[in-house]
A and B are shown apart, each in its own frame.
Chain A
Amino acid sequence: AQSVAQPEDQVNVAEGNPLTVKCTYSVSGNPYLFWYVQYPNRGLQFLLKYITGDNLVKGSYGFEAEFNKSQTSFHLKKPSALVSDSALYFCAVATDSWGKLQFGAGTQVVVTP
């Protein structure tokens, strides 16, 4: 069985400071890892994905994520947070190249001016 953990319900950061949202996963095979973002009362938007290759994945809106196999982590990062980055962030994992994603519970990011 596959599972995803996002250990922080909320992350607070001042605008201009680095932002990190943590994610750890558990799968029986090779993981396909995703980050999505959700703004209030909206659907999820894809940010980035890791399948194989470079451990550092670059995505939309200046976000990046680092795959760490030994720590089974896929933390989302942004060097300088914006107030507009305030949203709910979801990490997800799959063990096939398609579908059946297992989502984490989500982390609310609050960026203050």
Chain B
Amino acid sequence: DGGITQSPKYLFRKEGQNVTLSCEQNLNHDAMYWYRQDPGQGLRLIYYSQIVNDFQKGDIAEGYSVSREKKESFPLTVTSAQKNPTAFYLCASEGTRGIQYFGAGTRLSVL
């Protein structure tokens, strides 16, 4: 999917557990994004980062955390505070003219 690698493809979380979703890009893009996709609701922005060592909350940041220590990497942690984590999570990076390139996604389920 255009140089964006998300892993794992499937992830299961136990109650009270934090889990981390990986997102790596080799497109040399500055801006990266995390979205949550639920059926019938489109994509909702969790966090975004325009540059290394800087990130901003999106519309639904509660219960999530991120870091941006390297340009290529933007991992998302789903914390135990997120009470409804079951969803499809998509990472994207932004190239020229505002076009976003998406990874293949991680499907998170609760055990």
Contacts and interface: CB of A to CB of B under 8 A. Distances in A.
29 contacts: A34-B98, A34-B99, A36-B102, A41-B104, A41-B105, A42-B104, A43-B1, A43-B4, A43-B102, A43-B103, A44-B43, A44-B102, A45-B102, A51-B97, A90-B42, A96-B98, A97-B98, A98-B50, A98-B98, A99-B50, A99-B94, A100-B48, A100-B58, A101-B45, A101-B100, A103-B35, A105-B40, A105-B41, A106-B40
The secondary-structure label for the interface of chain A is: loop
B105 A103 contact: no
B101 interface: yes
B31 A43 contact: no
Given A41-B107, A43-B4, A44-B90, A98 B42 contact: no
B33 interface: yes
Nearest to A98: B98
Nearest to A51: B97
Interface of B: 1-2, 4, 6, 31, 33, 35, 40-45, 48, 50, 58, 90, 92, 94, 97-105, 107
A93 to B, nearest CB: 11
B103 A98 contact: no
Closest 4 CB pairs of A and B: A43-B102, A103-B42, A103-B43, A105-B42
A98 B1 contact: no
Contacts of A46: 99-101
Nearest to B45: A100
Contacts of B105: 41-43
B42 A32 contact: no
A51 B96 CA distance: 13
Contacts of A42: 1, 104-105
Interface string A13-42: 000000000000000000010101000011
A101 B42 CA distance: 11
